[in-house]
Amino acid sequence: MSSSGCVNLKSTKTVSFSASEKIQNLLKQTGCCCCCCCIRFLDRKNWKIKKSERKMAMNSVKWGYVRIITGTILGGVLGFYVMHRVEVSYKEKMKERLRQYETELKKKEKLNELEDSI
């Protein structure tokens, strides 16, 4: 794996590690920054991750995707609701200001009519 920057790990011996510990050990030993080449190394060198461990890893990835998608949808709904409430309250404030302005205009018109009549 010298093309991806990983060191050849022929002398590495297997001990009963979980899949994530194996990958973390490989990353420490190689100084590599990605997990992809280390997983490929595990598959090639009979230091394979058990099928159950692989399923658990995939389940956690799927669960992560579910959480991200759910959070995005719920965040969008919450944001939409908050903006809707802000718009409605702003609209009500503006209607109230318009009513006050109209009453002030009517009062001014009445005063002007009274002054003209005098």
3-state SS record for 44-80: HCCCCCCHHHHHHHHHHHHHHHHHHHHHHHHHHHHHH
Task: Return the DSSP state at 11.
Answer: T
Tens digit of each residue's pLDDT (9 = 90 or more) over 65-88: 999 999 999 999 999 999 999 999
Kindly state the tokens that stand for 89.
Answer: 């309250």
What is the rounded distance in angstroms from the CA atom of residue 20 to the CA atom of residue 17?
Answer: 8
Domain ranges of the chain: 57-116
Kindly state the tokens that stand for 96.
Answer: 């109230």
Residue 11 has pLDDT above 50, yes or no: no
pTM of the model: 0.44
Higher pLDDT, 52 or 109: 109
pLDDT for the residue 66: 93
Higher pLDDT, 5 or 94: 94
pLDDT range class, residue 114, cuts 50, 70, 90: confident
